[in-house]
Amino acid sequence: MTKPVKPAIIVHGGAWKIPKYLWKKSIMGCEDAVKEGYKILISGESAIKAVTEAVRIMENNQVFDAGVGALLNLIGEVELDAIVIDGENVTSGAVAVVRNIKNPILLALKVMELTPHRLLAGKGAEMFAAEVDIPKCKTTDLIVGRELKRYEQLKKNKKFKIPDAFRDKHGGTVGAVAIDINGKVAAATSTGGVPKKLPGRVGDTPIIGSGAFADNRAGAASATGWGESIMKAALSKTACDYLAKNHLAQRSATLAVKEMENRWNGLGGVIVVDKKGNPGIAHNTPQMAYARISRAGTLKSGIATR
């Protein structure tokens, strides 16, 4: 038996220009999630369980662009993407373009646990949800007034381009990374995507190495931001590659975001935990909401600003 290590967890609530009136709610939403995740870790349960639960809690929080409160696509519908990834053998499950599911992260976990696949999309994912007793909801159960208003405004805004969303007001994708007492890492990410996305558009979130990555030999990462640029940069894998080369956790996050910015003009942020439980967070958007509980058990949260 290996000696138990002290667990740690970080969550994020998206990287964009978070308006002041949402700061407190975003921080509180991140704190609620991180505390629950930490409880799970302290009780000796797995990192995969902790990140899934942390993300589920954030999906249920209307403040974030995931689950309830997700933004609407070009035709006013909600299509959700999510991924969980276990650092043990880099095993993952993901769903894309799912409708009428309140907690796509739970469905992603079922894909990982019960199928030979990594990613189920659209109708097939919804059929699978029914098979594994993940409840359906109405589209209206997922839509909040704030997003309906944004949708109506953006419909008229012909000049809007998707990257603008991350420099200005958008909405926060959610994610979590953790290390458990057995030294195993995991990551999870969930999103409603980007404003004005075409129906059927899949972003970085459910793609292994883009929206999340985890490998016990290096650490775990969860990304958020302009998905089309994150995919080019494989942001989460890039951050984990730096960890694997023994860069410090904070430096790995910073280098990965810099690389995405320099090479692809990308926009976004990433949280990481290394295989010793050290945290890192970096973003090149105006703000990024986060909360973390360190190996010493200390809670830190805030709106990281640059």
The residue ranges that bind ligand ASP (CB under 6 A) are: 14, 65, 173, 191, 193-194, 203-205, 224-225, 227, 230
Min separation Cβ 304 and ligand ASP, Å: 15
Tell me how crowded residue 20 is: count the other CB atoms within 10 A of its CB. Answer: 8
- Provide the edge-to-edge strand list for the sheet that holds 212-215: 212-215, 219-225, 268-274, 279-283
- Choose between 46 and 73: whose C-beta lies nearer to ligand ASP: 73
Min separation Cβ 192 and ligand ASP, Å: 8
Min separation Cβ 13 and ligand ASP, Å: 10
Residue 244 and residue 275 in contact, taking contact as beta carbons nearer than 8 Å: no
173 given a catalytic annotation: yes
Residue 33 and residue 10 in contact, taking contact as beta carbons nearer than 8 Å: no
Min separation Cβ 89 and ligand ASP, Å: 25
- CA-to-CA distance for 292 and 277, rounded, in angstroms? 11
- Choose between 177 and 181: whose C-beta lies nearer to ligand ASP: 177
- Choose between 8 and 194: whose C-beta lies nearer to ligand ASP: 194
- CA-to-CA distance for 269 and 245, rounded, in angstroms? 20
Nearest residue to ligand ASP, using CB? 227
- Choose between 209 and 225: whose C-beta lies nearer to ligand ASP: 225
Q: In the chain, what is the greatest distance between 2 CA atoms, to the nearest angstrom?
A: 61
Min separation Cβ 91 and ligand ASP, Å: 22
Tell me how crowded residue 140 is: count the other CB atoms within 10 A of its CB. Answer: 8
52, 173, 189, 254: the active-site residue = 173
Q: What is the DSSP letter of 183?
A: S
Cα radius of gyration (the chain) = 17
Residue 98 and residue 200 in contact, taking contact as beta carbons nearer than 8 Å: no
- CA-to-CA distance for 135 and 113, rounded, in angstroms? 18
- Choose between 39 and 146: whose C-beta lies nearer to ligand ASP: 146
Task: Give the catalytic positions in this structure.
Answer: 173
